[in-house]
Structures are given as C-alpha cells and as structure tokens.
Amino acid sequence: MIETSELENIIHKYHIIKEFTSLPESALGFYFYDGDYSMILISESLKNNERLYRTILAEEIGHFMTTVGDITPRRYLRYSEQIEIDKKELVALRWAVDFLLPTQMVLEVLRDRKACTVDELVDYFYVTKDFLMKKFEFMAKEKPIWKIDGKRCLYLYKLPSVFIYE
C-alpha cells in the first residue's frame, strides 16, 4: 500500500499549500494555481475519513502534476470548454489511481493472494471502492486481460464485475 505520508511528501516537496475548509457539498477537493502559489483545498468533512481523504488528495495532486491552465468550473461554459475540463479531470484521476494503485502492485497483491476480492483490495490499498473500480476501468481500456501468474488472469471485460480465471 502507498502510505498517505507519500502524498503529504509530494505536497511538501513542491510547496503546495493544503488547507481543510468548508466547500460546497458537491466538492470534496479543489486545486488551483494563481501564478505564484499552488493550493489544494480539502473539505473539512474528510478530516475523519482517511480512506476518502487519500483518494481526493491524490486526485488534487494529480491536477498539480498534470493540469495546465484554468479548469475552475464556472456557471456558464461553452460545450467545448466543458469537454476540455472533463478531459483534464480524467487525466488527474488517472494520475491518482496510478499513484495509489500501481498496476504491478495490484497484480502482485493478487498473485501473492494478499487480497482476492474487490472488498479485500479496497481494504488492502485503503481506498474507496469507486476509486478501485476507476483503476480497473483504466486497466481495461489498456487491455482487458492481465496475467497474474502462470495459472491465473484478471479479466476486466464486464466491469463492474471483475473475474480471476485459472
């Protein structure tokens, strides 16, 4: 498992300001860069929910690592602007799931039978089920079958169902 401290280390390394604050109910995290400072705002509601905090913080760091330009949501956007924001959100999410759930590590955990079900993987990596399923979606787009070991493969054809076949 990638420890939460590794996310915090990135924040310190790149001098990102992180604050817990009140955010609208629909927003659990927010990243912005004002030309001088990078800032991540995290909803106060996540202070006592480390599992969700880790996933939101990873995604916001993903914006820092991958986003160029302003993607602040505004009330009225042209369709093309919304598409551009959605693409940047997806890239940041991809960075986050790849950081907290490296593909090789997921396959090793399955190979070593440290976790064999979705719920066990969620607990092992200490992430949310939605976050793990996003990882599987990204893996499925790359290829639908992943070799675990000499006998078993991870099948991602029929998400949200995940199968391991011998």
Tokens representing 70? Answer: 């302003």
> Could you tell me if residue 46 is left (phi over 0), alpha (psi between -120 and 50 degrees) or otherwise beta?
alpha
> What pLDDT sits at residue 81?
74
Closest CA to 67 of 89, 96, 34: 89
The helix (H) or strand (E) run that includes residue 41 is: strand 38-43
71, 85 Cβ separation under 8 angstroms: yes
- 4-100: CATH number: 1.10.10
Report pTM: 0.88
How far is it, in rounded angstroms, from Cα 39 to Cα 33?
A: 6
Q: Which stretches of the chain drop beneath a pLDDT of 70?
A: 68-77
Q: Which residues contact 128 (CB under 8 A, 6 or more apart)?
A: 51, 52, 55, 122
> What pLDDT sits at residue 70?
60
> What pLDDT sits at residue 92?
94
> What pLDDT sits at residue 72?
66
